[in-house]
Amino acid sequence: MKHPLRNRYYIMRHGQSMANVKGIIVSSPEHGIDAYGLTDKGKHQAREAIKGWPVLDASTRIVASDFLRTRQTAQEVRDLLQCNTAVEHSSLIRERFFGTWELTSDKNYGKVWADDRNMTTRHQVEPVEQVLSRALACIAGLEACHEKKSILLVSHGDTLQILITHFLGWPPTRHREVDPMTVAQIRSLNPAALLTERLPVKS
């Protein structure tokens, strides 16, 4: 993807969801599009998070994963900012699919991440390269349609951290070396801004 981009991109992880509270993995569209939305705390987190980003205002365009928890997060943000446009939904930035780990304990994330570090894919988990490819396709589509806009992408932990590696020039298998995105956290996708955050030194 060409740098610099025509637009300014910001990324946001969804607020606390029912899946977070239950401690389970919800990554399949079958379960995530219509269920496992935000808790009341998650909605509050979304509203509070956006207050710390005055650069994001009514002119901001918001694109959210089509999962319920990200759609609800995006709507909380839009309502607070009183954005001029409706939230757009995109399957390209939906949750990484965790295969046979679906609806199991979220402690199993660690097993997937260990496989990622070893450049191994098992249990029908979506490869990091595929996640990165679709996330970049989302940005490419926005680049083709907009210019000089502030665009907020509301997505999920793995999807966003894998995307960050691209802008840092790292292979996507190193996504867990990125400082983890917490619930409702917002970051600039500007490479210079990413490099100033608490990131580990590359070996």
Q: Is residue 25 part of a domain?
A: yes
Tokens of 45: 């987190």
Q: Is residue 56 part of a domain?
A: yes
Residue 148: give its domain's CATH number: 3.40.50.1240
Taking alpha carbons only, the member of 190, 181, 180 closest to residue 150 is: 190
Q: Is residue 3 part of a domain?
A: no
Mean predicted confidence (pLDDT) in 94-103: 99
pLDDT digits (tens, 9 = 90+) for 162-183: 999 999 999 999 999 999 999 9
pLDDT digits (tens, 9 = 90+) for 61-89: 999 999 999 999 999 999 999 999 999 99
Q: Is residue 203 part of a domain?
A: no
- The whole domain housing 115 covers 8-191
Q: Is residue 92 part of a domain?
A: yes
Average pLDDT over the chain, rounded to an integer? 94
Q: Write down the pLDDT at residue 198.
A: 44
Q: Is residue 71 part of a domain?
A: yes
- What b-and-e string marks burial along 116-135, b requiring 16 or more CB atoms within 10 Å of the CB? beeeebeeebbbbeebbebb
CA 25 – CA 67 distance, rounded (Å): 13
Q: Do the beta carbons of residue 46 and residue 82 sit within 8 Å?
A: no
Of 3-7, 46-50, 62-66, 192-196, minimum mean pLDDT range: 192-196
Q: Write down the pLDDT at residue 4.
A: 79
Strand 61-65 relative to strand 150-155, pairing: parallel
pLDDT digits (tens, 9 = 90+) for 26-67: 999 999 999 999 999 999 999 999 999 999 999 999 999 999
pTM across the whole model: 0.93
Q: Is residue 98 part of a domain?
A: yes
Q: Write down the pLDDT at residue 12.
A: 99
Tokens of 85: 């446009």
- How many domains in the chain? 1
Q: Is residue 109 part of a domain?
A: yes
